Chains A and B, each alone.
With several copies, the nearest count.
Chain A
Amino acid sequence: MAPALHAAPLAAINKGDVAWMLTSTLLVLMMSIPGVALFYGGLVRAKNVLSVMMQVLTVLALVLLLWTAYGYSLTFSGGGAFIGNFDKAFLDGISASSQASGLPEYLYFSFQATFAGISCALIVGALAERMKFGAVLAFTVLWFTFAYVPVAHMVWAPSGWLHTLGALDFAGGTVVHVNAGMAGLVGAALLGPRMDMGRTAMRPHNLPLAMVGAALLWVGWFGFNAGSALSANATAALAFVDTLLATAAGVLAWLGAEAVFRKRPSMLGGISGVIAGLVGITPACGNVGPLGAIAIGALASLACLWGVNGLKRLLRVDDALDAFGIHAVGGIAGALLTGIFSVSALGGNGGNGFGMLHQFGIQALAVVITLAWSALVALLAGLLVKWVYGLRVSDEHEREGLDTTVHGERAYDD
């Protein structure tokens, strides 16, 4: 994502840019609801589908307002290396005629707001089927404030530390996916596994629903990736084609591996490949060429396949819907591969001065910083919430399901 430039507020705004960014913003909103809500909702058991959908919706709504209150300002206002300032808190000083990055600032604000929203919504997947509703909200608010906002500032603000180091993260692979996936892992570890874990099968209750969610995520992701060009220009077109092809490669890689190793390629595998390919190409989509995108999509997909199998068995954490196994692992793979495939010999737009090894190092640094920062904040936030309010619902509520016990309703009826 291009950094927010406030230099030329009086320049004429191109309506084609505005048209595309209005569309992109609603596409990113659509990724959260219904996208993630459907994807996660379909993957849990029928007794908990409303609870995850509620968590996604409420976290989104909450973060949109917090973004208004201080998130936007702390991220994009002011010149600190680690955090911004409060000058634009509550949209102070912004009017319909304000501009940012060549767009009406309200639009730029909205676009960025939907990124904050989906980042927090993604975490819900790791915590599914056992966490108190209030605890989900509290945990998310703390993480948003102390992890999302500073990391976004460090990576995207012109003065941000990682930005000045030269870390490449076109659309948010590190800020969004590595960041959120790590928080999910820590949260899930603090929560402990679901009570029936290992004893009964925790099958998705409605895979077609999850498939629709994944499909809408793909569609919406064009807003996320091509929208991060902040303009209807050639970079947007590049990000678009990269997003299209990396995802196709992600699907085929996952299904191919399943066909070889398990004989039966699965729907859950196919949609996991969709997400993995999308996550992988996110940091790279403005920098690598279409063939590089295909490679990244396939490699990220295989990395995530390992993430939800081998790595998951190693970690022994009940990351219920694989927020870490897909978003963090895919995000790490993507960030590192961006360093490689951006080189012009591999079709990237890295230019002459681009040093693959050097860039790889910076990318790795950005990943490690993000992982560490996010994990630390998630740990402290989770412990605080546990101590003050408690993290888990009672066993009886967990057994009966969160829909009836926490929200007083059932998903399905005759």
Chain B
Amino acid sequence: MNGVLPVNLITSIIRPHKLDAVRQALEDVDVNGMTVTEVRGFGRQKGHTEMYRGAEYVVDFLPKIKLEVVVTDDRLQAVLDAVQLAAHTGKVGDGKIFVVPIGQVVRIRTAELDGDAL
């Protein structure tokens, strides 16, 4: 039972084509639950240009994937390392990871709380 450990929400913004690799890396550190959202990112990385009937312009947002994983404190660093490694290409636009401490977790199916809910 790790219901007493503090819990964290790890939000990673990554390149879409890295999703599979990151998921694999997370499974390797025994994290099997996660939630994924399609987002658009603005940042240093610049998009391609598109043309439509004479109008040419730079697409300034880029498709990214937001990956949210909730884990207890003891596994936080392992997850951070796993994501950072797996999502890395070294080129501008690789993305960020944010960690936010969580007050409470509930598993809807069982009403279990916190660490037990994961």
Interface-side segment among A24-32, A135-143, A146-154, A200-208? A200-208
In the bound complex, how far is the Cα of B17 from the Cα of A202, in angstroms?
Answer: 13
A164-223 CB contacts (< 8 Å) to partner B: 199-204
A276-314 CB contacts (< 8 Å) to partner B: 308-309, 312-313
- Given contacts A199-B20, A200-B20, whether A308 and B54 have CB atoms under 8 Å apart is yes
Check A242 for interface membership: any CB of B closer than 8 A: no
B51-100 CB contacts (< 8 Å) to partner A: 51-57, 59
Choose one: B49, B50, B53; the contact of A309 (CB below 8 Å). B53
When the two chains form their complex, are residues B48 and A404 in contact, meaning their CB atoms are under 8 A apart? yes
What is the size, in residues, of chain B's interface with A at 8 Å between Cβ atoms? 13
In the bound complex, how far is the Cα of B89 from the Cα of A399, in angstroms?
Answer: 14
When the two chains form their complex, are residues B51 and A308 in contact, meaning their CB atoms are under 8 A apart? no
Q: Which residues of A contact B52 (CB under 8 A)?
A: 201-204, 266, 268, 409
Which residue among B49, B54, B55, B57 has the maximum number of chain A CB atoms within 10 Å of its CB?
B54
In the bound complex, how far is the Cα of B64 from the Cα of A169, in angstroms?
Answer: 52
Check A114 for interface membership: any CB of B closer than 8 A: no
Check A264 for interface membership: any CB of B closer than 8 A: yes
In the bound complex, how far is the Cα of B17 from the Cα of A399, in angstroms?
Answer: 8
- Given contacts A201-B55, A201-B57, A322-B53, whether A408 and B48 have CB atoms under 8 Å apart is yes
A386-408 CB contacts (< 8 Å) to partner B: 399-400, 404-405, 408
When the two chains form their complex, are residues B53 and A268 in contact, meaning their CB atoms are under 8 A apart? yes
- Given contacts A200-B20, A399-B17, whether A264 and B51 have CB atoms under 8 Å apart is yes
Residues of B within 8 A of A (CB): 17, 20, 48-57, 59
Residues of A within 8 A of B (CB): 199-204, 262, 264, 266, 268, 272, 308-309, 312-313, 322, 325, 399-400, 404-405, 408-410
Name 8 extra pairs, CB < 8 A, besides A199-B20, A262-B51: A201-B57, A204-B52, A264-B51, A308-B54, A322-B53, A404-B48, A408-B50, A408-B51
25 contacts between A and B (CB under 8 A): A199-B20, A200-B20, A201-B50, A201-B52, A201-B55, A202-B52, A203-B52, A262-B51, A266-B51, A266-B52, A268-B51, A268-B52, A308-B54, A312-B54, A313-B54, A322-B53, A325-B53, A404-B48, A404-B50, A404-B59, A408-B48, A408-B50, A409-B51, A409-B52, A410-B50
